[in-house]
Amino acid sequence: GAGVSQSPRYKVTKRGQDVALRCDPISGHVSLYWYRQALGQGPEFLTYFNYEAQQDKSGLPNDRFSAERPEGSISTLTIQRTEQRDSAMYRCASSPGGAKGFGQPQHFGDGTRLSIL
Amino acid sequence: AQKVTQAQTEISVVEKEDVTLDCVYETRDTTYYLFWYKQPPSGELVFLIRRNSFDEQNEISGRYSWNFQKSTSSFNFTITASQVVDSAVYFCALSVAFFGNEKLTFGTGTRLTIIP
């Protein structure tokens, strides 16, 4: 498809399990972002990739959270030893970045709704 | 640090009324972009508009218009002759470029309900 694709759409898991969330950005987009959106709140930044390089991970809450984008396209956000407070909508966004210049809008995927029991 | 404030948590208006959604931002950077996104009940985030910090011209797109005023650090969004399909949560967001990292800082959103 032409848009940002995220999978799974919904994930329910027990506390203590590891989860992996996948993001397939728009083809050719250099910049990729992960956000977390709690109910009734705006999305909050987690991490940023420029091609395959993770250039900002300042928003990751703790060391249980990690992300990768090994070939500069698909990205995976992994949460280890999940806790109930990790329950939220996790959104991925991509933008052209690079030579396209500053201020290009980010296009968001539909998100993964994560519920920790 | 950047901050975006959307003081209106929820707004309800009767269909065909005009409605304005407020957005106030804070940043020390002189170069930045402002955005509005729409989140309908289906949950996706849809890009509506962007403005850069050097362009204070107001913009109109059909029933939508945006008023950017640097003097008051505001970027307000007006819907004219509202329709039921406009019911959604609307987010204002801000980005500043730092070596290509344009992470967005979002407000908490305004839930708009259009009453038929």
pLDDT of residue A99: 65
Mean pLDDT, range A25-38, rounded to an integer:
96
Is the predicted pLDDT of residue A100 greater than 70, yes or no?
no
Does pLDDT of A1 surpass 60? no
**Which residue is closest to A33 within chain B, CA to CA?**
B103
Dist CA A95 CA A28 (whole Å) = 9
Q: Which of A65-74, B8-17, B36-45, B93-102 has the lowest mean pLDDT?
A: B93-102
Name the closest residue on chain A to residue B97, using Cα atoms. Answer: A102
Residue A61: half-sphere exposure toward Cβ, Cα within 13 Å? 15
Residue B1 has a pLDDT of 87
> For B42-85, how does the pLDDT look when each residue is reduced to its tens digit (9 = 90+)?
999 999 999 989 888 888 889 999 999 999 999 999 999 999 99
Mean per-residue pLDDT, A2-27:
96
Round the average pLDDT of chain B to a whole number and report it. Answer: 94
pLDDT interval class at B39 (50, 70, 90): very high
Q: Measured between alpha carbons, how far is B31 from B12 in angstroms, rounded to an integer?
A: 34
Closest by CA position to B107, among listed B5, B2, B27, B9: B5
User: Residue A2 — very low, low, confident or very high, per pLDDT cuts 50/70/90?
Assistant: confident
Substitution target in A45, A48, A55, A106 with the highest count of B β-carbons within 10 Å is: A106
From the list A45, A107, A111, which residue is nearest B47 (CB)? A107
Query: Which 3 state secondary structure label does DSSP give B26?
Result: strand
Average pLDDT value for residue range A57-80: 97
- Judging by DSSP bridges, how do beta strands A53-56 and B74-79 pair with one another? unpaired
Residue A15 has pLDDT above 70, yes or no: yes
User: Is residue B97's pLDDT more than 90?
Assistant: no
Residues sharing a CB contact under 8 Å with residue A94, sequence separation 6 or more, in sequence order: A4, A23, A25, A26, A29, A31, A32, A33, A106, A107
Mean pLDDT of A100-116: 90
pLDDT of amino acid A101: 67
Provide CB contacts within 8 A for B59, sequence distance 6+: B49, B51, B65, B66
